[in-house]
Chain A
């Protein structure tokens, strides 16, 4: 069966510090991968998605970036965090199927920027 991992589960970082969140998927090949953010009291916002190694599409301009160095690894990064980067970060995967919008989400990382 497929499993998605995210770490760390929680993170407190000062403004201006760098960020690296990692997501890995097991039990599937060539998945589509996604990063979402959910700010406190707000809906889910799609940040990045990837349909293959090295292929990243950005949905929202910001100081975050994403990379996919391996087929089942997706990394969210920032060189300098802002207060507004606080939120719940979710990674998701979807099978590379013709008509699948069944996305499977990880447990999330709760980031607090102080």
Chain B
């Protein structure tokens, strides 16, 4: 699986967009980009995933660069409840066990 690089921490003002970057320069053609988040003392929560097209759901948008070497998770209107560690994970679609490897992620702090 390709390695990902994320900043250790970021701050965002409440109500503003939070843009969380992820670098995955060694990603291969069949690898998806997944985003999870973990609010303190809770289990991780799936947010969104994509292959090469930009994706949007009720929680966030995922922007993947054309060369697929990086991506950005966008929380359009961050709230205090979005304070969490955000994990960017790259994983291929093959196999049957669907193991995920969580790195250290980015601690996003939303400030009032």
* Partner-B contacts on A (CB < 8 A): 32, 34, 36, 43-44, 46, 49, 51, 57, 59, 88, 90, 92, 94, 98-108, 110
Contacts and interface: CB of A to CB of B under 8 A. Distances in A.
A108 B42 contact: yes
Chain B binding site: helix, strand, loop or mixed by DSSP? Answer: loop
Contacts of B99: 34, 46, 49, 59
18 contacts: A43-B103, A44-B38, A44-B44, A92-B43, A98-B93, A99-B32, A99-B93, A101-B98, A102-B34, A102-B46, A103-B44, A103-B98, A103-B100, A104-B46, A105-B42, A105-B45, A106-B43, A107-B42
A105 to B, nearest CB: 3
Interface of B: 32, 34, 36, 38, 41-46, 49, 89, 91, 93, 96-105
Contact of A103 (B32, B42, B46, B96): B46
A32 B97 CA distance: 7
A57 B100 contact: no
A94 B103 contact: no
Nearest to A32: B98
